[in-house]
Structure formats: structure tokens, C-alpha cells
Amino acid sequence: MKLNDKVALVTGAGQGIGEAIAKRLATEGALVYVSDIDHDRADRVAKKLAGFGPQGKSLLLDVTSPEAWAKAIEKIRLEKGRLDILVNNAGITIAKYFEETSLEDWRKIMTVNLESQFIAMQAALPLMKESALKSDRGGSIVNMSSVSGIIGTPVLAAYTASKAGVRYLSKSVALDFAKRGYKIRVNTVHPGVTEGESASVLFESRVRAGLSVSVSQARTDWIANYPLGRAASTDEIANAVLFLASDESSYITGMELTVDGGLSAQ
């Protein structure tokens, strides 16, 4: 029970990678606030967590809204009085060639993928600082980026820019917190292609862009770039988040953990 007595908040946890992260943290003893912009999805996952550990709690949260974040953090303060782990997982994918990417597309993906994490960390910081002082190893923020935040990817110009922003925002915030003695670590996880909705978006975009003749061919073409020869499971990404959320990574901050089947090693 690596996270026994810890309180965690996971965004975008109503499905996919976020759901897997919430379940993984719960299995290690954390009480997890399952947040999502779709309350029904969040509630469904939260009810499942009772079978893994402490009961989960669902939370309706628009991650782009400072007001929504303030309400969410206040709710956690009133109910639990602490927040030890924040996982900023919520994000979107817009897959288009650069010249077909509108300014509206650009602003939307920057708001959801990058600006929301800025808002989240500022909103959570006061409560996390208080909680960290009560803990031997302090608190942990894990920001979800992507392997596309490290290497360039065709038809994903806006997405890669947003995820690279997450990487460097997190490094700078990690240094700020360390210099000020807040006992809160900040790291990023960079998944490669992962089974689920986001992978489907990528494969469909290749067909639209004329790079593949079918979704099945797009999948084959995309995964051919990965040395391990397959997509990751959501559980494999969740395991990486667990490591950074737990005290087992207590001397790691400002770093990225790449879970990409060897893609970026080439």
C-alpha cells in the first residue's frame, strides 16, 4: 500500500488512461477524487474504486475554468483537509496538417492541454503545501505530456507544441517549488501510442491526411515505428504515474518519464 492515507486528484479520469491511473492509485491505498468534465463518467469510475481500496469520489470539473478549480480544491479541503497527489491527465488531440490547423484549433488545444495545468497547479498549491508539511516525503504533481512533447510528429503540430509546453512548464515549476522548500515534486509522464480513444484519433487522422489507406493500415504503419512493436496498455502508463506519485520517487523532480516502447531512443 504505497499510497496509504494519501489523497489524490486525477483529472480526465472518466475513461482511458485517466481511469487506469485512478484505479492504480486506489489499489495502493489512496483515496482518489475522480474528476472529469462528464460527471456520469467520473461517477462510474469512482464507484468502481470501492473494489480496489478506499472509496473513490467523483468530481465534475472543467479543467480550463479557474472558478471550477477553486471549488474543487475547496471541496477537497472541507472533506479531507489535505491533497497529496495531483495528476493532470485531462487533454485532447487535434490531428491536422499544419496549414489546416486553424487558430481556433490552436487555442483550444493550448487551453485544454497546457493552460489547464497551469491553472491546476496554482489552484492546488496552497492545500498541497499544507499537506506536504505533514508528510515525511511531501507531495507529488504528475503532469501528463506525450512522447510528442519530446520528438516531432506529423499532423500533430499544435498537439506537440502543447505537450512540449507541459514538459518545460513542469521543469520550471519543479525548480520553483524546490527553491522555496515546498516539498512538492513535479514530474511529467510521456506516453507513446496507447490503446484507446486517443490512438483511434491518430489512426483516423492518417487516413484523412492520405498517409494510410485504412484505419487498420494506419495502425500497422504507426506501430511499425515502435521498437517494441506494439501500443502501450493504459495500465502500463498508470504504473509509471504510480511510481512518480509515490515516495519511491522522492528524490526525483523536474524530470520526464518516457513510456514509449523505445520510440524516442532511435
Number of domains in the chain: 2
Residue numbers of the domain that contains 156: 7-192+234-255
How far apart CA 32 and CA 16 sit, in angstroms, is: 16
Residue 153 shares a structural domain with residue 211: no
Same domain, 73 and 183: yes
- 134 and 223 inside one domain: no
Confidence of residue 213 (pLDDT cuts 50, 70, 90): confident
What is the C-alpha separation between 124 and 84, in angstroms, rounded? 10
Does residue 217 share a domain with residue 116? no
User: Does residue 263 belong to any structural domain of this protein?
Assistant: no
153 band by pLDDT with thresholds 50, 70 and 90: confident
CB 242 within 8 A of CB 252: no
Residues 93 and 205 in one domain: no
Q: Decide if 124 is inside a domain.
A: yes
Q: pLDDT confidence of 210, banded at 50, 70, 90?
A: confident
The verdict on 78 and 56 lying in the same domain is yes
For residue 177, the one-letter residue type is F
pLDDT in tens, 130-148: 999 999 999 999 999 999 9
pLDDT per position as a tens digit, 173-196 = 999 999 999 999 999 999 999 998
Q: What is the pLDDT of residues 55-91, one digit of tens each?
A: 899 999 999 999 999 999 999 999 999 999 999 999 9
Q: What angle do CA 90, 92, 96 make, to 5 degrees?
A: 165
Write down the pTM of the prediction. 0.95
Comparing 18 with 50, which gets the higher pLDDT? 18
Q: Report the distance separating Cα 1 and Cα 49, nearest Å.
A: 15
50 pLDDT above the threshold of 90: no
Residue 197 vs residue 227, higher pLDDT? 227
DSSP assignments along 2-56, one per residue: TTTT-EEEETTTTSHHHHHHHHHHHHTT-EEEEEESSHHHHHHHHHHGGGTSSPP
Q: Do 65 and 36 fall into the same domain?
A: yes
Q: Is 168 a catalytic residue?
A: no
pLDDT in the model for residue 79:
97
Residue 61 · residue 11 · CB < 8 Å: yes
Answer yes or no: is pLDDT of 238 > 80.
yes
Q: Which member of 97, 159, 226, 251 is catalytic? A: 159
**Max mean pLDDT range (43-52, 103-112, 216-225):** 103-112
CATH no. for residue 17? 3.40.50.720
Tell me the helices (H) and strands (E) count for the chain, helix number first.
Answer: 9, 7
Q: Torsions phi, psi of 36, nearest 5?
A: -165, 155
- Which uninterrupted H or E stretch holds 186? strand 184-191
**Same domain (yes/no): 112, 223:** no
Helix, coil or strand: residue 66: helix
Is residue 115 domain-resident? yes
For residue 261, being part of any structural domain is answered with: no
